[in-house]
Amino acid sequence: MATAAAPNAPTAALAAPVKTSYWSLSRAPRYSLTFALPLLLLYELAAWLVSGPTGVRNGAEVMLKQGAQSLLGSRGPLVMLGVIVAIIVWAIARDARKNGAPRLPVFFGMAIESALLAAIFGLVVGLATARLITALHLSVPALDQLGLPTALMVSLGAGFYEELLFRVLLVSALLMVARRLLGWGPVAAGIFATLLGAAAFSAVHYVGPLGDQVTRQSFVFRTIAGLAFSGLYVTRGFGITAWAHALYDVFLIIARGTN
């Protein structure tokens, strides 16, 4: 019996559950996407209540929904929203079936981490922004012109849709182009995708009637912000980056409102 049990010992050892750290779990789809989904739903609800179906929206969302409308007609934006939610739910379910149901304490840690990151961004980047605007006489960002409820609503959309468009979709597409078409290595492809994605992130803030005034200084500054969010996305995943971005914008708006 001892000799029969011996071959099974390595198998049993391999089958033993592997402990995974919070830093790895929080990036897994069943945690990251579950954490991001309420942000999308909260933004869509706030947008409907504050602006109605044809009011002010986040610029990244408008770009995505206009693309869907050009392809699918008037129902395109609704179809796009349904597809986004369906993909998120599918990815969460697939990961949960493979690795087990998510645990609530991890979400508490993700919420605390997102708030702390937003506060750090607010203190460091916000102070630099204020000094840059004062020193270079730049225009005040357009969110200040929208009124507090609309500005807060747009900030929630920035967290989800800007991270979806500029990090998940654009940076991933640029990586694919650099690796498969240009034949670059992972480091060169990563630098290329991150820099170009950050430049696009900066440029979109000047689009439309509510866009900022175009200046070289503010473009460079927003590009640096794009690099920071890209780094956060690569290291901490979509869910935490989306919430940190949204809360960062919210904190800045509240701080400006109290000054």
* Lowest mean pLDDT segment, chosen from 6-15, 113-122, 145-154: 6-15
pLDDT for residue 82: 94
pLDDT for residue 101: 92
pLDDT for residue 13: 44
CB-CB neighbours of 121 under 10 Å? 21
Tokens of 37: 């989904």
pLDDT for residue 139: 47
pTM: predicted TM-score of the whole model, two decimal places: 0.80
- Taking only the tens place, the pLDDT of each residue in 94-124 is 999 999 999 999 999 999 999 999 988 777 7
pLDDT for residue 234: 81
**Residue 6: pLDDT above 80?**
no
Query: How far is it, in rounded angstroms, from Cα 83 to Cα 78?
Result: 9
- Alpha helix locations (H) across 26-182? 29-51, 59-72, 76-99, 104-136, 148-157, 163, 172-176
The single-letter code of the amino acid at 61 is E
pLDDT for residue 182: 86
Over range 156-177, report the average pLDDT.
89
CB 211 within 8 A of CB 142: yes
Q: 29-51 and 76-99 are packed helices; what angle lies between their axes, rounded to 10 degrees?
A: 150
Between the CA atoms of 35, 148, 168 and 85, what dihedral angle is there, to the nearest 10 degrees?
50
Query: How far is it, in rounded angstroms, from Cα 62 to Cα 109?
Result: 32
Query: How far is it, in rounded angstroms, from Cα 206 to Cα 219?
Result: 9
- Taking only the tens place, the pLDDT of each residue in 53-92 is 667 787 788 888 888 999 989 898 899 999 999 999 999 9
**Residue 93: pLDDT above 90?**
yes
- Taking only the tens place, the pLDDT of each residue in 184-227 is 988 888 888 888 888 888 787 776 555 666 666 677 777 777 88
pLDDT for residue 16: 42
**Contacts for 254 with CB less than 8 Å, ≥ 6 apart:** none
Nearest to 129 by CA among 233, 238, 228: 228
Domain coordinates in residue numbering, the chain: 27-258
Q: Which residue in this structure is represented by tokens 């981490």?
A: 113
pLDDT for residue 2: 47
pLDDT for residue 179: 87
Over range 218-238, report the average pLDDT.
81
**Contacts for 14 with CB less than 8 Å, ≥ 6 apart:** none
* Better-predicted residue by pLDDT, 192 or 13: 192
Sort residue 147 into left (φ over 0), alpha (ψ -120 to 50) or beta: left
